[in-house]
Chains A and B, each alone.
Chain A
Amino acid sequence: MRREIPLAITFLVGLFMLVDFFVPHHSVSAAAEEMKQWGTIVIAASILLGVGNLIRVHYRKIRRKQDGWGYSITTLVAMSVMLYFGGPWGTIAEGSAFNWMFLNMQVPLQSTMFSLLAFFIASAAYRAFRLRSAEAGLLLVAAIIVMLGRVPLGQLLTRGLPEKATLPWLTETIMTYPNMAAFRGILMGAALGVMAMGLRIILGIERSYLGGEK
């Protein structure tokens, strides 16, 4: 029973949502709408679960004094302070302490973290991106055209040439035809993969998401 009920729920909810897509009748859509609102609530709970897990991991790390447990303290303290300002008793609006922490701590941390990649990509460009085959060569040539054609520099470099020989035109043509075609092929293939997976889940053939233990 511990497996059958969830599988039945999955099947019924899935089937009903499929019907909702094809049948515009109001008796279906009214029920479906309320169910979608439930979906947002249950998904919120699943995110809560994720954050809860994070707390548990760091708590255990501190309790067992694992490597780097000091940093786990930082994590939990930072979290508590921010929650103190933004919890049920606090406010998250513009101008609040919570908002200040978001704008002046979270924003710079997160955006700087990812801007590191500019450096890494430059270093990899020099040290690892190789014309190891005809295919990789084609890739790099297309990449170089796009890199130059997508910035004002490309326009400057081919200024004066006929329109259809300029880097911006070449870039847009690559994007609109071969790039579009390949991505459309990938898109359709991926769509089939997702649909097959969805079918298996709704029919209960795929049940790994329920976890291992009985």
Chain B
Amino acid sequence: MKRTWLTFLAAAAVATSLLGAAVAQEAAPVVEEEVPREDVPLDTVAPAAPGALTARDYLDSNDAGDKIELDWELSPDDGAGSCDVAGYFLWRSRSASSPGEIVAELPSGQTHYVDRNLEPGAEYFYSITAFDGTNESAAVTCAPVAGRVNLFQTSRASILALMLVFFGLVLVFTKLAERGDELFVRRIPGLNAIEEAVGRATEMGRPVLYVPGIGEIDNIMTIASLTILSHVAKITARYETPLIVPTARAVVMSAAEEVVKQAYTEVGQPDAYNPDNIRYLSDAQFAFAGAVNGIMLREKPAANLYMGAFWAESLLLAETGFEAGAIQVAGTAMVSQLPFFVTACDFTLMGEELYAASAYLSREPKLLGGLKGSDWMKVVTIALVVLGAVLNFMGFETFVNWFRTQ
């Protein structure tokens, strides 16, 4: 099943690159028509017509073919001659026989315009006139032109290629993990810190406090946190140390109940499970923080573990825990809260370490696959960055420019 997918993705990669290369040829500019210049003397008459008009497909092989780029030469009376050009009218038509409608009024001195939102691939006839406020010059026309309809955004080829490489890595590693291969993930130091903290709480005969953040149940940090909670619950169950889990979301509370109950059952201590210790406190951020702080002061846990999605309440929790003298271990991918955890806790799992810890503990194939895939993609990234920087320094820009997406 997965192999079919990989083949499909690889084939898609090859096909799209070929297609992209084929479509990416630039449209040739349309040859302009010479229009005889009429020298017109004074202000009762129209200004001289502008010079040659060129129309071509907008030089971007990535658009839908709905843009035409137009260039013209200034009328001899624009900024010189009788100096009376107020601007230009650009006309557009679907047939050669009529001038069609004015699509733009352009100020004097301008020689360039991109006409947009056209029907992709349709043929258009353009003409331009100069006007002085009352009189309009003769029209200058050019050959019909059509936008080129593109099938692939060539500037996004590098994105597609790197995406497919990465997806391939993720799927291969997921497959390997499903097959039961040993995929090495280094042990995250934070896990040792968690175990030490729980150990110390046991020695002191005081409870362990585990806060799974205030994220909803669909937040991936909350999900990672529940995996770690299961690990912690197994240790506390073995040591028969009370485990208090305050939650800010009703759904997270029921999930935490399940997780802890199952962990206690797995290590053969189902009777030690105390449902009263899994608590729903409040949905409101500060009310929740206040209530957790209350638990810290009253029940004096010796180890405080904060794992999951935290916002501004991180500070309140870590401060009170520090004051109470508990060992504190935190883990979150909320970057703006990490500084507070780092300075107020004994150990902090930062960013991806939280997910890595949960993959390490659960050995779930989809998590491991993602983790290993990301890992090797990082190696690819570093190699590309170093190579690109060196080549760029030496002046070889072709390679680097392939990664330019706009």
Contacts and interface: CB of A to CB of B under 8 A. Distances in A.
B318 A124 contact: yes
Contacts of A114: 312
B344 to A, nearest CB: 4
Interface stretch (A90-98, A127-135, A149-157, A158-166): A127-135
Interface string B321-361: 01100000000010100011011101000011001000000
A208 B366 CA distance: 12
A185 B236 CA distance: 36
Given A24-B62, A127-B322, A189-B378, A199 B344 contact: no
A182 to B, nearest CB: 10
B370 A196 contact: yes
Nearest to A50: B216
Interface in B91-126: 120
The 3 closest A-B pairs by CB, nearest first: A196-B370, A128-B344, A129-B343
A136 interface: yes
A135 B342 contact: yes
25 contacts: A22-B152, A23-B153, A24-B62, A24-B152, A25-B64, A25-B150, A120-B316, A121-B315, A124-B315, A124-B318, A127-B323, A129-B344, A136-B342, A136-B343, A139-B339, A140-B343, A189-B378, A193-B355, A196-B369, A196-B373, A200-B370, A203-B5, A205-B366, A206-B366, A208-B223
Given A130-B344, A186-B335, A22 B16 contact: yes
Interface residues of B, number: 53
Interface in B285-334: 286, 312, 315-316, 318-319, 322-323, 333
Most buried by A among B156, B315, B335, B352: B315
Contacts of A197: 220, 370
Interface residues of A, number: 43
Interface in A183-205: 183, 186, 188-190, 192-193, 195-197, 199-200, 203, 205
Interface in A6-36: 21-26, 29
A19 to B, nearest CB: 10
Interface of B: 5, 16, 62-66, 120, 149-153, 156, 160, 163, 166-167, 170-171, 174, 218, 220, 223, 250, 283, 286, 312, 315-316, 318-319, 322-323, 333, 335, 339-340, 342-344, 346, 351-352, 355, 366, 369-370, 373-374, 377-378, 381
A206 B235 CA distance: 29
A132 B344 CA distance: 8
A128 B322 contact: yes
Nearest to B255: A212
Given A189-B374, A189-B378, 9 more contacts: A22-B153, A23-B151, A23-B153, A24-B62, A24-B150, A117-B312, A130-B344, A193-B370, A203-B5
Nearest to B346: A132
A47 interface: no
Contacts of A129: 340, 343-344
Nearest to B163: A195
A25 B66 CA distance: 10
A120 B319 contact: yes
Contacts of B152: 22-24
A143 interface: yes
A189 B369 CA distance: 15
A209 interface: yes
A173 to B, nearest CB: 19
Contact of B166 (A113, A135, A195, A203): A195
Nearest to A140: B343
Contacts of A196: 166, 170, 369-370, 373-374
